[in-house]
Amino acid sequence: MRYEITILGVVQGVGYRPFVAALAEQLHIRGSVRNSGGVVRIDAFGDAEAMDNFICRLRSCAPPAARVDRVQAVPVNEDETAPGDFGIVESEAENGADFPLLPADLPLCEACLAEMRNPDNRRYRYPFISCVNCGPRYSITEEVPYDRAHITMREFGMCPSCREEYTGMNFQTCSSPEMRRRHAQTISCHACGPQLRWMAPDGEGGFACREKEAALEAAQETLRAGGVIALKGIGGYQFACRPDRGACVERLRRLKHRDNKPFAVMFPSLESIREVCLVSKQEEELLCSSARPIVLLCVKKREYGFSCEVSGESRFLGAFLPYTGLHQLLTQAVGPLVITSGNVTDEPILTADEEMEKLLQKNPFLLAGIAWNDRRIVTPLDDSLMRMTGGRPQLLRRSRGLVPDPVGLPSACPMPVLAMGGDLKAAFCLACRTRGYMSQYFGDLESYQVLRTYLHAVDHMEKLFGIVPRAIACDLHPGYASSREASRLAGEKGLPLFAFQHHHAHGASVMAEHGLRRCIAVVFDGTGYGTDGTVWGGEFLLCEGSAFLRAGHLEETELIGGDASAKDAGLTALCHLEHAGCGLSGEKKEGEEPQLRRKIVSAALSGHINTERSTSMGRLFDAVCALLGIRETNSYEGECAIALENAAARAMERGMPPAELSFPLREEGNVLLADRTPLIRKIFRETKGMQAWYKEKDRTEKTEALALGFHEAVAQMVLDICRRLRERFQENRIALSGGVFANVILQERCRSLLEEEGFLVYVNEKVPGNDGGIALGQALLAAWKLLEDKNSQEEKVCAWHCPEGF
């Protein structure tokens, strides 16, 4: 018998062809296997029993990193003579069967780790050790199918030993350990692969360079001594230093221009993480997953041996495990290391060796040296960031280890769509059929370098997956760089352009993940362009198909200064006090300068000078944080909101009851409004009284009780509005999205209250709930819009041809 078999799924770059070949040899099947575009094709000859067994095993078994979605087996006439054996043959560029599923970058496997630690193994202490089950994949792929000729490893010729492993055929079973390097496209060793190199200032205006083991020892010694080094990772350069040296971490902050935002720490083992952090079973699974993300964990105690410069006042520590041989060799020699992206804040991660060399030349007193290699990086990738919330995984940044794995769409796109996302935490989505290929995280598009990297990635992903967009989706905001680029591309290519409201796309991203066609979307964030031209951010939307109804929102207030209001929480607080009628005397500081500021703010608000109307929940969090005297500026996005959440968490730890705060509801034109005025007035009265007579300890406890009370009031307001909307629209499904719901206390409390009332609650899990996930929502809305327009046209055609009165 002869069968033509097509395997669809993640079956390239994961050792699938060697697995098929070994299985065929074991069952005495003859023929061949090849990569074909994005799939694997098998031409198999054998008797009926062997062929049935072969096809059954293909459906039920696979290498560790593979994922088989479908096995299509078609019997054909044996019009050709069966070959004498089974072989892996040359790949084909096109297949026409399906769009490719490419593997994400894979972490160092246990077998390679054991080899790297074994003095008798020829890859002992080789930092770039890999096999079919581990190593870089997407970050070094230039074309499909995934073969050595199409990845940057093609620049390294194999030594005889690696060539023998690569082509070896004498394996008895498909599970043989030797299978790990049969047709492993990243195969290399000390003799033939990428080599570690070290560059450091020599003290005389030049640089000292070392290679291989000497380079590794120099990097380890520099870290032990308290130096900051750059190292070339899978998706780009990273900076590393010891977390127990405050001066060292402070130099890293100066190098990155990063004042307060917490750093993540890479630990050599799971056991070492447990010494510092509380780790649940679910968090352990995240840490050890193939994505090897940074996971936000609760620390056991504040005094855990790390400098306060690492994570500041945060009650969480971003922890992760080594995912390359180099990371493992450094951490096992030095201990835990701060590892952060190798870039200056707000700029893209560096991937080019010459760019990092320039940075070293410019900052020799901050950066002690570079540990690099000459394997090119095609796709820049930051580390992914996750946490567990309410027993479910929550993505905060989707990048290395997760990209380019697609997210399934509940409705098929009638044509390929490019969804551009937003400008903050930018990420785009290529949607085709029922798949949404989400890009990696880029950063903020206000940076020209980030925008350039983003646009290059769009071109690369389109070519890599063979997807040619026939429609473009973007944010409604006309000033977004992503919207301008969408308009430019649509105009140049003559494509339809769909602009979707920001918070509608947030809600749709949850709908895309969970297969919802209709729901109430509760979307809280800092800013989003509304259909009325104002700033939205505290929204309750009834979403159905590609349409939405704004059914409720936080009451509007007038804020000064756009970007300034996002950074200056003290200014936002003054605007809220004025709106609440408390008078600008509510500012806690005294003296000439504060008095002048109060007058300027009052004049600006009364004259509507550089002001905007806003329903932003993010800005309300900022205002309350400033009113409580916790923090008045955001040196990074969400800093004040995080500080307010930390204060509420301390109240919970002490068992303190929340202060009684509330949002009265009223209705205007069938839209429910949550009135923030009584809440602001009460906080103002309480904080003004605290200044006068509260002792320090009592003042701190009162502040924390108010912080917890604010969280409770927001959650109760969400429940109250959702109850009314359920009664009005007969809708029981609630989608929570937007950056504010990264707040663990708020999200868990909202979910708890809603579920107790019988609501079905859905949140983002496969894409970030912040702006990094809205491209998925835009893609789904575009798919629905295209389908609705298509159906509408068909109805018009039918009506045109129908006889009158039919």
- Per-residue pLDDT tens for 199-210? 999 877 788 999
> With 50 as the cut, is the pLDDT of residue 549 above it?
yes
Which pTM does this prediction carry?
A: 0.92
d(CA 766, CA 769): 9
Task: State the residue for tokens 């990155």.
Answer: 256
- Mean pLDDT along residues 529-557: 96
- Mean pLDDT along residues 411-439: 95
Q: How confident is the model at residue 529 (pLDDT cuts 50, 70, 90)?
A: very high
| pLDDT at res. 345 | 82
Higher pLDDT, 172 or 550: 550
Count of other CB atoms within 10 angstroms of residue 250: 15
Q: Do residues 738 and 525 make contact, with C-beta atoms less than 8 angstroms apart? A: yes
| pLDDT at res. 94 | 61
Per-residue CA distances from 795 to 489, 546, 801 (Å): 31, 18, 10
- Look over the chain and give the mean of its residue pLDDT values, rounded to a whole number: 90
Per-residue CA distances from 552 to 368, 676, 740, 777 (Å): 55, 14, 17, 20
Task: State the residue for tokens 């919330």.
Answer: 389
Q: How confident is the model at residue 696 (pLDDT cuts 50, 70, 90)?
A: low
The string of pLDDT tens digits covering residues 551-601 is 999 999 999 877 777 899 999 999 999 999 886 544 444 555 666 777 788
Task: State the residue for tokens 């995984």.
Answer: 393
| pLDDT at res. 699 | 75
Least confident residue range of 70-79, 307-316, 690-699: 690-699
> With 70 as the cut, is the pLDDT of residue 800 above it?
no
409 token code pair: 């769409």
| pLDDT at res. 510 | 98
d(CA 30, CA 9): 23
> With 80 as the cut, is the pLDDT of residue 692 above it?
no
| pLDDT at res. 95 | 52
Q: At what angle do helices 696-729 and 617-627 cross, to 10 degrees?
A: 160
How is 5-31 classified by DSSP, letter by letter?
EEEEEE-SSSSHHHHHHHHHHHTT-EE
| pLDDT at res. 302 | 67
- Mean pLDDT along residues 605-611: 84
Q: Do residues 156 and 142 make contact, with C-beta atoms less than 8 angstroms apart? A: no
- Mean pLDDT along residues 166-193: 75
104 token code pair: 């994400």
The string of pLDDT tens digits covering residues 15-33 is 888 889 889 988 999 999 9
| pLDDT at res. 172 | 42
d(CA 796, CA 69): 39
Least confident residue range of 164-168, 318-322, 350-354: 164-168
- Residue 340: phi, psi to the nearest 5? -140, 160
Q: How confident is the model at residue 38 (pLDDT cuts 50, 70, 90)?
A: confident
Q: Do residues 676 and 599 make contact, with C-beta atoms less than 8 angstroms apart? A: no
d(CA 622, CA 153): 49
The string of pLDDT tens digits covering residues 93-138 is 665 556 778 899 999 999 999 999 999 999 999 999 999 999 999 9
> With 90 as the cut, is the pLDDT of residue 630 above it?
yes
| pLDDT at res. 272 | 96
d(CA 759, CA 726): 9
| pLDDT at res. 697 | 61
